[in-house]
Amino acid sequence: RKEVEQDPGPFNVPEGATVAFNCTYSNSASQSFFWYRQDCRKEPKLLMSVYSSGNEDGRFTAQLNRASQYISLLIRDSKLSDSATYLCVVNDAGKSTFGDGTTLTVKP
Amino acid sequence: NAGVTQTPKFQVLKTGQSMTLQCAQDMNHEYMSWYRQDPGMGLRLIHYSVGAGITDQGEVPNGYNVSRSTTEDFPLRLLSAAPSQTSVYFCASSYSPPYAGGYGYTFGSGTRLTVV
The answer to whether residues B91 and B9 touch, using CB atoms and an 8 Å cutoff, is: no
C-alpha to C-alpha distance for B3 and B24, rounded to whole angstroms: 8
A18 pLDDT more than 80: yes
The answer to whether residues A98 and A87 touch, using CB atoms and an 8 Å cutoff, is: yes
**pLDDT tens digits, residue range A80-101?**
999 999 999 999 877 889 999 9
Q: CB distance B107–A99 less than 8 Å?
A: no
Task: Output the average pLDDT for chain B.
Answer: 94
B108 touches chain A (CB under 8 A): yes
The answer to whether residues A13 and A37 touch, using CB atoms and an 8 Å cutoff, is: no
**pLDDT tens digits, residue range A19-78?**
999 999 999 988 899 999 999 999 999 999 998 888 999 999 999 999 999 999 999 999
Q: CB distance A44–B90 less than 8 Å?
A: yes
Phi and psi (nearest 5°) for A69? 60, 60
B101 pLDDT more than 80: no
B1 pLDDT more than 80: no
Contacts of B42 in chain A (CB under 8 A): 87, 98-101
Q: CB distance B99–A96 less than 8 Å?
A: no
Q: CB distance B99–A98 less than 8 Å?
A: no
Q: CB distance A95–B106 less than 8 Å?
A: no
B11 pLDDT more than 90: yes
Contacts of A85 in chain B (CB under 8 A): none
CA distances A39 to A32, A92, B81, Å, are: 23, 26, 28
Q: CB distance A91–B99 less than 8 Å?
A: yes
Of the candidates A31, A45, A87, the beta carbon closest to that of B101 is on A31
Q: Is A49 left (phi over 0), alpha (psi -120 to 50) or beta?
A: beta
Contacts of A96 in chain B (CB under 8 A): 45, 98, 105
Instruction: Return the exposure string of A39-66: e unless at least 16 CB atoms fall within 10 Å of the residue's CB, then b.
Output: eeeebbebbbbbeeeeeeeeebbbbbee
The answer to whether residues B35 and B23 touch, using CB atoms and an 8 Å cutoff, is: no
A103 pLDDT more than 90: yes
**pLDDT tens digits, residue range B44-95?**
999 999 999 999 999 999 999 999 999 999 999 999 999 999 999 999 999 9
How close A44 gets to chain B, by Cα (Å)?
Answer: 6
**pLDDT tens digits, residue range B12-28?**
999 999 999 999 999 99
B106 touches chain A (CB under 8 A): yes
B102 pLDDT more than 70: no
